[in-house]
Amino acid sequence: MSEMTTIARPYAKAAFDFAVENGELAQWAEMLAFTAEVAKNDTIKDILDGGFAADKLTEIFLSVCGEQLNEFGQNLVKVMAENGRLKVLPAVCDEFLLLKSEHEKTIDAFVTSSVALDDSQLEAISTKLEERLERKVKLNCSVDETLIAGVVIRAGDLIIDNSVRGKLNRLSDALQS
């Protein structure tokens, strides 16, 4: 997977620089997300593996994408098809979104709790994370009853496990060592 990231990074950087220059970050994020989903489609994957010529791949890909891409998005697809890189579009999208969140000083935080959290709890978590990470935080919440109690927060490389299950696992590891 790291090879895909290495291949995707220059395309993502070029798209990002162009989007910033033209004030179209949101539009490019949508276009890349759409093309990534198209590239993940099983039928399209088979076509990409089928050994078609670049112009035929471009034609097929653009016919599926339709009006979802502007002329510059279509040009990116053409260049990537010419270089045999359409398979890495999902990685290009991921890299682009990382650059976008870095630029906008935002981060997605995934909060898993044993019960649904109320607004004041979510606000407190958001405030603390924003202070710690020095970024605007977008919370994505889910419930996992197997945690017993507490929360697990994942934001980028940061993982905060304040669940009873996590504490029991750490206690078990300490007793076994």
β 106-113/158-163 pair status: unpaired
Q: What angle do CA 96, 109, 27 make, to 5 degrees?
A: 30
- The residue ranges of every structural domain in the chain are 2-102, 105-176
Contact 149, 168 (CB under 8 A): no
In this prediction the pTM is 0.68
Q: Which CATH class is domain 2-102?
A: mainly alpha
Q: What is the mean pLDDT of residues 72-79?
A: 85
The separation between CA 98 and the C-alpha centre of its own chain, rounded to angstroms, equals: 7
The pLDDT tens digits for 31-69 are 989 988 888 888 877 777 777 777 888 888 788 887 888
Q: Is residue 110 very low, low, confident or very high in pLDDT (cuts 50, 70, 90)? A: very high
